[in-house]
Structure 1
Amino acid sequence: MSLQNKIVHLSCRRFVCNSGALHKSASSEARTVLAVGDETTQQSLVENIQMKSLKEMPGPSAVGNLVEFFFRDGFSRIHEIQMEHSQKYGKIFKSRFGPQLVVSIAGRDLVAEVLRSEGVAPQRGNMESWQEYRNLRGRSTGLISAEGEDWLKMRSVLRQLIMRPKDVAQFSDDVNSVVVDMIKRVETLRSQQPDGLTVLNINDLFFKYAMEGMAAILYEDRLGCLENEIPQKSQDYITALHLMFSSFKMTMYAGAIPKWLRPIIPRPWEEFCSSWDGLFSFSQIHVDKRLEEIKEQMSKGEEVKGGLLTHMLVTREMNLEEIYANMTEMLLAGVDTTSFTLSWATYLLARNPKVQQQIYEEIIRTLGHGTVPTADDVPNLPLVRGLVKETLRLFPVLPGNGRVTQDDLVIGGYFIPKGTQLALCHYSTSLDEENFPGAEGFHPERWIRKDATDRVDNFGSIPFGYGIRSCIGRRIAELEMHLALTQLIQRYQICPDAPTAYKPPVH
């Protein structure tokens, strides 16, 4: 889902953005998942359950997929294709991407069954291109790309530092210092426009905010991304990061194009490797810088204090290459999630002034006009939390999540062999009317529980994943989004770039 550069007007309580329309929804149906054990168990199940093979599973033809994705730019429209295929083929269907066979699951209940049946170390979708790059360059995997025992070890180290709300709350001051700089940048950008209200390209603004915020937490350092003159090293990293995000299609091509075709079609793999080179290089510079500072402190007999990176470098529960990899992958994932969601959230607020008014009143009622919010205030701002959840429901950062089956399974009546790649279609489930009545509408209040029976089924919208393999940086990303949105709504009225489109609410 592409969010183009925005024109934003900001006055006292004014902030304007623009984008495309929301997408259509699909229907859902319940399926069942049964774990299949040894051959005896399999035979018993075959006798008692009428199972079908993958050959009998519906789905687009290999040729049709080839044309759709490689000649009609389908990698830029994965969310739309997901909806079309789920409507046409049902809640379970197969697709082929080059040499890769993928079984797509587009039903909430079936997604829930798959995720609930996972073992202690679930395997993500096919990430062979990530692993191949790391082998080529002699790099370690990080928490996103690692599997098995390596993944379990890394997660056990990181989960105690950044997964619990109380652990992430300590980063409030760091994040708020970045929010202050973002607000200053907003004022600078407004002053550069004739009307004194417009901010051009809010995507870029939020991208730099997210990068600065993640770096402040991960590297314990500021990069200067929100300054008028960005340091060259930071600019180089921004360029590499933009290349990685803009070449998401290239990443897909890199994994789908057979290796023997690379000499003929070299660009996808070359750009994929080039962007990773830039990201790893930047992380290594900042990790090494902090390491030298720690060594100097220790040589002087000084007490070493710090945050996440300092803890990892002092305890050495991971080796240095693993630290480089995890810093790189967490920054990559965090920047994308935060910036993307903030852009869509401001779009939705601009298009729904009554909702914006309600959230503004909640913030003023809870904090007043001048109080700077902290992590401790967020639980008292349910509509702000609902705003983030509803934005991620309508515009998830990724339209799906991947898994590779670690056992033979029976899914929806089909026998799925061990080692099959699954695509869990969160985009279609999040726009399903059965899961979310009024699914195409923007209703942050739907996430506020009024009693024990009034709740939203989390498996309908799980943008951060589920269970032990859920996004480890979720709490950090949410903190950055909650604090930024609260202060923006406190200070500005967010409006479309055509101020005459509607009469703004009065505060």
Structure 2
Amino acid sequence: MKCKRALESETTYFYHAVFASRFHQLPKLAGSQTLELQNDPAAAAANKGEEPGAEPGLRTPRRRSRVKSLHEMPGPNTLYNLYEFFWKDGFGRIHEIQQKHTQEYGKIFKSHFGPQFVVSIADRDMVAQVLRAEGRAPQRANMESWQEYRDLRGRATGLISAEGEQWLKMRSVLRQKILKPKDVAIYSDGVNEVITDLIKRIHTLRTQEDDGETVTNVNNLFFKYSMEGAIPKWLRPLIPKPWREFCRSWDGLFKFSQIHVDNRLKAIQSQLDQGEVVNGGLLTYLLVSKELTLEEIYANMTEMLLAGVDTTSFTLSWATYLLAKHPEVQQRVYEEIASKLGKEKIPVARDVRKLPLIRAVLKETLRLYPVLPGNGRVTQKDLIVGGYLIPKGTQLALCHYTTSYCEENFSMANEFRPERWLRKDNLDRVDNFGSIPFGYGIRSCIGRRVAELEIHLALIQLLQNFEIKISPKTVPVRAKTHGLLTPGSSINVRFSDRK
């Protein structure tokens, strides 16, 4: 907790939002026009004059489908977007604008922002098509500001911002100690130490309110991360402050990470000097194996710390809010914990497997409040998506918030229903591209297992100790986009001692 509070003071103005960064690069509309029809069998058949699914070479009389160009794609115009984002605080409502534009223009639409261009996709099957067509090194939405800062300061690139072969190398090194459940299980004790401090802090904060139970602004309790998106380079001469704050925040983050990496390096060297065997987690492995340079370790620890804190803190805030509003769900979850684990046992990683409802609560929380309301990609080849030719080099915005609330994907989509994620039997799989908060495929979140462990263990112990209830100070909380999807106002709830 001390580390988190120290980091918070350095990161008040941080985070280059993926959806803000989508405006940094024009697509290469003059690129190759080769149609990668294998990504859309129906389109391939249509362009050959064949029935989709017919045997190759067999033609049936039918009207040939025409692949449409980006020029024909609907979407808001540039002036409207400038008005929406700058006059009506659109950067704080990106998730709502996703839904609004989907209703107005359909599930695939284009947007202009000044000279920049992006194609937005708000359909589960189209999102799946794009992600499944990715190669061995998918390219995220252009993160120009991240790279420009590193060039300015002579810093190395980390896994989140790296691309191409550099990204592949780092991924192959980092995945060895962080992707498998058995690898992250070693973090249970460390996570539980932090949770013990968290519960003590709740007891202290409750005494500050008249009812002796309410904790105001649990966003801060779970380390509320305040963020500010960096603006495109072409606007910096007019609005220079966000870029200066962006650099200052990165400076603080790198300094914080470097101090802790250097301290661990000294401890390891001391152990080696005394002939001791060195054991530990990911950081220890990286320092001992020397598969990455020290600068690359600094960069990766900084970016992974950033991503991990965001995921954990905001998701815990939303989960607490939802459980307080739905006491019947909370009771079912607590009963499962009490019967399968016990009321006082401190959980570890292997215990989470026994508690499908706690896992379902996390999945449903992330469906309703995905940490990233959308994700970005730059197409690496020509694609046909939704009947449109998307040329190589086009910036895509995958609208995960909108697909999460689509009734076609989730019945009663606006309701908190964790049971929708429970398997009926061992053969049943509950997968849905409508909600993929950790991404998909090779470029999915590498820290997913660690984040899930932190959240699962925290929720279990919170419910073992407290009933989370609505307080007189509890008010409806709307989401707001600050790069990530954050609570738009304070979440205030009661933590009553569990009897």
TM-score (norm 2): 0.82
1:51 matched residue in structure 2: 67
State the shift of 1:297 in Å.
2.7
Say if 1:317 and 1:358 are closer, same or farther in 2 by CA, change over 3 A.
same
Q: CA deviation at 1:189?
A: 1.2
CA contact (8 A) 2:36 2:384 kept: no
In the alignment, which residue of structure 2 is the partner of 1:233? none
Match of 1:130 in 2: 146
Deviation at 1:499, TM superposition (A): 8.7
Paired residues of 1:354 and 1:505 also in contact (CA < 8 A): no
Check 1:500–1:276 CA distance in 2 against 1; reply closer, same or farther (3 A cut): closer
Q: Deviations over 1:231-270 (max 9, x none)?
A: xxxxxxxxxxx4xx421xx32xx2x341xx4233211211
Q: Residues of 2 paired with 1:154 and 1:299: CA distance?
A: 29
Q: Secondary structure at the match of 1:410?
A: strand
Label 1:38 to 1:89 Cα distance change in 2 as closer, same or farther (>3 A). Answer: closer
1:106 aligns with one of 107, 122, 139: 122
Shift of 1:200: 2.1
Indicate the SS of the match to 1:285.
helix
- Structure 1 partner of 2:451: 477
Where do 1:68-467 residues align within 5 Å?
A: 68-207=84-223, 242=225, 245-247=226-228, 250-251=229-230, 254=231, 256-258=232-234, 261-451=235-425, 455-467=429-441
Alpha-carbon shift at residue 316 of structure 1 (Å) = 0.7
Corresponding residue for 1:23?
none
Q: In terms of mean alpha carbon deviation, does 399-408 or 296-305 score higher? A: 296-305
Identity fraction in percent:
67
Give the distance between the partners of 1:369 and 1:506, measured in 2 at CA: 9
Rounded to whole Å, the distance in 2 between the matches of 1:383 and 1:47 is 49
Question: Residues 391-422 of structure 1: CA distance to partner in whole angstroms, max 9, x if unpaired?
Answer: 00001011111111000111111111101011
Are the aligned partners of 2:34 and 2:382 in contact in 1 as well (CA < 8 Å)? no
1:453/1:291 CA distance change after superposition, 3 Å: closer
Alignment partners' CA distance in 2, 1:356 and 1:386: 12
Equivalent AA in structure 1 for residue 424 of structure 2 = K
| Cα offsets for 1:289-325 (capped at 9, x unmatched) | 1112222332333332322111111111000111001
Distance 1:309 1:293 in 2: 12
CA contact (8 A) 2:324 2:470 kept: yes
CA–CA separation in structure 1 for the residues paired with 2:259 and 2:132: 40
| Cα distance between partner residues in 2 of 1:120 and 1:112 | 16
Which consecutive unaligned segments of at least 5 residues does structure 2 have? 1-30, 38-42, 50-64, 476-495
Shift in CA distance, 483/409, structure 1 to aligned 2, threshold 3 Å = same
Who is 1:237 aligned against?
none
Separation of aligned partners in 1, 2:297 and 2:381: 31
RMSD: 2.5
* SS of alignment partner, residue 494 of structure 1: strand
Task: Spell out, residue by residue over 1:62-92, the C-alpha distance to the aligned partner (whole angstroms, 9 max, x if none).
Answer: 1111111122110100000000011111110
Letter in structure 2 aligned against 1:288: D
Asked if structure 2 preserves the Cα contact closer than 8 Å seen for 1:405 and 1:422, the reply is: yes
Please state how far the C-alpha of 1:192 moved relative to its aligned partner: 2.9
| Amino acid aligned to 2:434 | G
Does structure 2 conserve the Cα–Cα contact (< 8 Å) formed by 1:98 and 1:257? no
State the match for 2:58 in structure 1.
Answer: none
- 461-470 or 489-498, which moves further after superposition? 489-498
Given that 2:32 and 2:391 are in contact with CA atoms closer than 8 Å, whether structure 1 keeps it comes out as no
Map of 1:28 onto structure 2: none
What's the counterpart of residue 492 of structure 2?
Answer: none
Question: Partners in 1 of 2:175 and 2:34 — Cα distance?
Answer: 37
2:467 match: secondary structure: coil
For residues 203 and 175 of structure 1, what CA distance do their matches in structure 2 show?
A: 19
Letter in 2 for 1:398: L
**Whole-angstrom distance in 2 between the partners of 1:457 and 1:167:** 24
SS in 1 for 2:157: coil
1:135 to partner: Cα distance: 1.0
Residues 505 and 134 (structure 1), Cα distance of their counterparts in 2 relative to 1, 3 Å cut: closer
For 2:406, the aligned partner's letter is D
Q: Which amino acid aligns with 1:384?
A: I
Q: Give the aligned residue type for 1:142.
A: G
When structure 1 is superposed on structure 2, of 298-307 and 428-437 the one drifting more is 298-307
Q: Does structure 2 retain, via aligned residues, the 8 Å contact 1:353–1:505?
A: no
8 Å CA contact 2:177–2:281 kept in 1: the answer is: no
Report the CA distance shift for 1:122/1:41 in structure 2 as closer, same or farther (over 3 A): closer
Q: Secondary structure at the match of 2:345?
A: coil
Contact 2:380 2:392 in 1 (8 A): yes
Amino acid at match of 2:285: H
- What SS is found at the alignment partner of 1:70? helix
Do the aligned partners of residues 491 and 499 (structure 1) sit closer, same or farther apart at CA in structure 2, a change above 3 Å counting? farther
Aligned-partner Cα distance in 1 for 2:431–2:313: 26
